[in-house]
């Protein structure tokens, strides 16, 4: 049989078989296929519904994120505004506290001999002798005017160390080099350290200690003190650095000005004793905080600054009970319209109480007698130049150290 005949016969057989196969499906099979089609349709609808729900959920979450982001931004702006207002209020409060403390000190200074800056009252006899020394101290004998107590400077020997050389040269140069403008001591006017310094610069300026580049021409004394203080690496604590810087600055400023106002800012314990006025001694002794210790050092000139400085600087504490950073206040505007870092008035009052100044164990081992004197020095002070005038005392008389009452 030819091939074409075979092909035609196969096609005819397939054509006749197809209707037979289609017609041979049972009703059960047809129902099964119909159910399968319906199931597929339901699945498609379920998947579409799930996709729609997912889109709706994503859209809803996106809207919630947008709302929360807007609320967060608004809350962040409100918080930033509140922090800014708080910082402004704190700065303003700091300035007001500083100005209030300065005003109180200024009012105390204007009261003259009625009381000391650190709140120690004087009896009437001490007030009288503190205002003027007895007549006869000058070359005119009893007919001459008395010498004000604030013009009696310690009697120092030639410099015995680099720090003494720097400070003594600065004081001598300021007195004789035209940097000072004389004023009437009876009127209690302050003399300027440099042009424009005036009375507003009598108080310590911490800018020189914190940032050496920030001081102005009016801060010559503070710059000198800061330069010397920074050479003592043993003094690490900020409270101790500020305490020493403040006390030396006030002392040096009085030595330069020799006026009533700068004298009034000195704590009682930093004012010279009689032995400091009449007995030649090394200048570094004048910067020791404890009066009785200064008396001891004057009587024992064999103790040099090299012996003293290392053990003293390493163990000195002012026992500030709060965070060290709180000893300073932020920038405030002074009477000259310039801003600078100032001492916290609470810390300043803390420093004016000598009982807070202590020495370390190495100092006590090196100088046990001096350590005992320092421990007792928070009691009654030795005789100072606010006591009866030294001109009335016999040249051979001596001042014995008082015995303070036990703590």
Concatenating the DSSP letter of every residue in 97-135 gives HHHHHHHHHHHHHHTGGGS-TTS----HHHHHHHH-PPT
- 3-class SS of residue 30: helix
Burial of 221 (0-12, 13-18, 19+ CB in 10 A): buried
Please report which helix (H) or strand (E) contains residue 345, including its range: helix 345-351
- pLDDT by residue, tens only, the chain of 407 residues: 555 544 455 545 544 444 444 456 788 888 889 999 999 999 999 999 999 999 999 999 999 999 999 999 999 999 999 998 998 888 777 667 766 655 665 555 444 433 443 433 333 333 333 343 333 444 444 445 678 888 999 999 999 888 999 999 999 888 775 444 333 333 333 333 443 333 435 667 777 777 655 555 456 788 889 888 888 888 889 999 999 999 999 999 999 999 999 999 999 999 999 999 999 999 999 999 999 999 999 999 999 999 999 899 999 999 999 999 899 887 554 544 445 688 899 999 999 999 999 999 999 999 999 999 999 986 544 444 443 333 333 333 333 333 333 33
Return phi, psi of residue 329, to 5°.
-110, 160
Over its C-alpha atoms, the chain yields an Rg (Å, rounded) of 44
What Å distances lie between residue 109 and 97, 343, 350, CA to CA? Answer: 18, 19, 19
* 180 close to 174: Cβ distance less than 8 angstroms: yes
Q: Where are the extended beta strands (E) located within 281-327? A: none
- 3-class SS of residue 333: strand
Give the pLDDT of residue 147. Answer: 80
Measured between alpha carbons, how far is 283 from 216 in angstroms, rounded to an integer?
A: 27
pTM recorded for the entire structure: 0.56
* 265 close to 246: Cβ distance less than 8 angstroms: no
Residue spans per domain, the chain? 153-392
Please report which helix (H) or strand (E) contains residue 131, including its range: helix 124-131
Measured between alpha carbons, how far is 295 from 370 in angstroms, rounded to an integer?
A: 10
Please report which helix (H) or strand (E) contains residue 294, including its range: helix 291-299
* 352 close to 273: Cβ distance less than 8 angstroms: no
User: Which has the closest alpha carbon to 245: 221, 229, 269, 224?
Assistant: 229
Measured between alpha carbons, how far is 343 from 329 in angstroms, rounded to an integer?
A: 6
**Tokens representing residue 18 in the block:** 């197809």
Read off the DSSP letter of residue 27. H
* 133 close to 388: Cβ distance less than 8 angstroms: no
């Amino acid at each position: 049989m030819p091939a074409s005949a075979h092909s035609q016969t196969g096609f005819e057989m397939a054509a006749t078989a197809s209707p037979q196969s289609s017609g041979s499906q049972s009703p059960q099979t047809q129902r099964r296929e119909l159910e399968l089609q319906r199931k597929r349709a339901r699945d498609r609808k379920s998947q579409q519904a799930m996709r729609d729900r997912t889109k709706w959920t994503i859209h809803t979450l996106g809207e919630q994120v947008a709302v929360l982001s807007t609320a967060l931004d608004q809350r962040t702006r409100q918080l930033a505004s509140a922090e800014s207002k708080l910082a402004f209020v704190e700065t303003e409060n700091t300035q007001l506290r500083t100005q209030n403390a300065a005003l109180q000190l200024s009012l105390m200074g204007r009261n003259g001999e009625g009381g000391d800056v650190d709140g120690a009252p004087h009896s009437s006899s001490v007030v009288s002798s503190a205002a003027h020394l007895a007549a006869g101290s000058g070359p005119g004998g009893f007919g001459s005017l008395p010498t004000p107590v604030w013009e009696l400077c310690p009697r120092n020997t030639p410099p015995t160390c680099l720090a003494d050389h720097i400070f003594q040269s600065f004081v001598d140069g300021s007195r004789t080099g035209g940097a000072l403008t004389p004023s009437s001591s009876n009127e209690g006017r302050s003399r300027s350290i440099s042009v424009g310094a005036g009375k507003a610069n009598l108080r310590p300026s911490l800018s020189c200690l914190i940032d050496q580049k920030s001081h102005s021409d009016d801060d010559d004394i503070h710059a000198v003190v800061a330069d010397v203080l920074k050479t003592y690496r043993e003094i690490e604590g900020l409270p101790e650095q500020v305490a020493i810087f403040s006390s030396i600055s006030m002392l040096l400023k009085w030595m330069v000005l020799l006026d009533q106002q700068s004298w009034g800012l000195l704590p009682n314990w930093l004012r010279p004793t009689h032995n400091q006025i009449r007995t030649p001694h090394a200048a570094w002794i004048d910067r020791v905080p404890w009066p009785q210790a200064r008396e001891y050092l004057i009587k024992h000139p064999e103790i040099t600054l090299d012996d003293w400085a290392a053990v003293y600087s390493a163990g000195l504490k002012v026992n500030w009970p709060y965070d060290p950073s709180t000893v300073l206040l932020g920038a405030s505007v002074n009477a000259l319209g310039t801003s600078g870092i100032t001492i916290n008035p609470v810390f300043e009052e803390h420093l004016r109480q000598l009982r807070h100044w202590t020495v370390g164990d190495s100092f006590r081992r090196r100088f046990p007698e001096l350590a005992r004197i320092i421990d007792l020095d928070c009691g009654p002070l030795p005789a100072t130049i606010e006591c009866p005038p030294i001109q009335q005392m016999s040249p051979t008389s001596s001042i014995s150290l008082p015995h303070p009452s036990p703590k």
